[in-house]
Amino acid sequence: MAKDAGRRLATVGDWYTIGLTLGLGLGLGVILSGLLAANMVGIGVSVALGVAAGAGIGYLVGDTTETIAGVVGGALGALAAAVVVVGAMRRGATRLGVGAYIGAVGVLVLLLALIPLAGYVVTVILPALAARMRGRQAARYAGLRTLAK
């Protein structure tokens, strides 16, 4: 990493490692949220563990910039996936089913993070989709409950 009169010049490798740690943190946050975010305590734990996992990945890959990117990715991934998990659980999904689907999405995000620039793109798209989904959440389907009476 070149330094010039106190200014750090970003190289192509720096941009790749920042996007990599951003995407890896995002994927780990999604997986943790899929496993733990069934209630508010689980959401808090998944965000905290996502931040810690992202920081660990960032520290292993690079320096301070990568660590910050991993922290941001872990927090965003856990929060975005928590929206989906809470909505699915409220509508009657099972914890195992939601965990399996969200875990598979997390693995896909981890793999996408290996592609240059994909970590940045997924980090923008995933929270945007979660925010859009949050506004469209429907109430629990009441059709089968009326038949049970």
Mean pLDDT of the chain: 85
How far from chain centre, in Å, is Cα 119? 11
Q: How far apart are CA 122 and CA 140, in angstroms?
A: 29
Total domains in the chain come to: 1
In a domain? residue 16: no
The pLDDT value recorded for residue 149 is 55
**pLDDT beyond 50 at 1:** no
| Residue 53 DSSP symbol | H
The band of 25, judged by pLDDT with boundaries at 50, 70 and 90, is very high
The CA angle 51-78-16, to the nearest 5 degrees, is 65
In a domain? residue 102: yes
Q: How far apart are CA 81 and CA 83, in angstroms?
A: 5
Q: Percent of the chain, pLDDT > 70?
A: 82
The pLDDT value recorded for residue 141 is 56
Residue numbers of the domain that contains 99: 31-134
* Sign of the torsion angle spanned by Cα atoms 12, 16, 18, 19: positive
pLDDT digits (tens, 9 = 90+) for 50-59: 999 999 999 9
Token pair in block for residue 145? 């409950």
**pLDDT beyond 50 at 8:** yes
In a domain? residue 5: no
In a domain? residue 11: no
In a domain? residue 141: no
In a domain? residue 18: no
Region of residue 62 (phi > 0: left; psi between -120 and 50: alpha; otherwise: beta): beta
In a domain? residue 94: yes
Average pLDDT over residues 24-42: 93
Average pLDDT over residues 119-141: 79
φ, ψ of residue 7 to 5 degrees: the values are: -105, 135
**How much is the pTM?**
0.82
Q: Percent of the chain, pLDDT > 90?
A: 62
